[in-house]
Amino acid sequence: MASSTDKTAVDRYFLALNSMARDAYLACFSEDALVMDPYGGRPLQGVAGLHKFMDGMERTWSSFTMTPDAPFVAADRVAVSWRCTATAKSGKVANFAGIDVFTLNENGLISQLEGYWDFQAMIAQIS
């Protein structure tokens, strides 16, 4: 069931990514969370999967800024469109956009994340 804490979990997620703060990112999720970001890629499961995601972030980006739009809440799900500007360690800049769909558990933590965006188009900008 969605509550006012749901938006807080989603807000904390975007703040954690923007600061590339691993501990804050992990704290947004349930221990058994499933992350498909982007959707269609290899799913990441649990705490080990969350660490793998952050490993990739830290390896790739020197700066990362996602700007979320207003969330749309329906039951235990929250959908948020966003835009991102990020600078790779190489100095190349990527601009891309997408939609994240979060499923929240009874404690307001993210139990599933589906990210809909074009990974290949983003990679092409920094390659």
User: What is the per-residue burial (b if ≥16 Cβ within 10 Å, else e) of 24-43?
Assistant: ebbebbbeebbbbbebeeee
pLDDT digits (tens, 9 = 90+) for 66-91: 999 999 999 999 999 999 999 999 99
pLDDT at 4 (0 to 100): 45
Q: List Cα–Cα distances, 94 to 41, 57, 116, 118, in angstroms.
A: 19, 13, 16, 12
Sign of CA dihedral 107, 115, 27, 48: positive
Task: Provide the domain limits for residue 20.
Answer: 4-126
Residue range 16-26, pLDDT digits in tens? 999 999 999 99
pLDDT class for 8, splitting at 50, 70, 90? confident
Instruction: Quote the DSSP letter at residue 91.
Output: S
CATH of residue 42's domain is: 3.10.450.50
Number of domains the chain contains: 1
Spatial neighbors of 58 by CB under 8 A, at least 6 apart, are 20, 22
> Is pLDDT at 40 greater than 60 in this prediction?
yes
Q: What is the pTM of this model?
A: 0.91
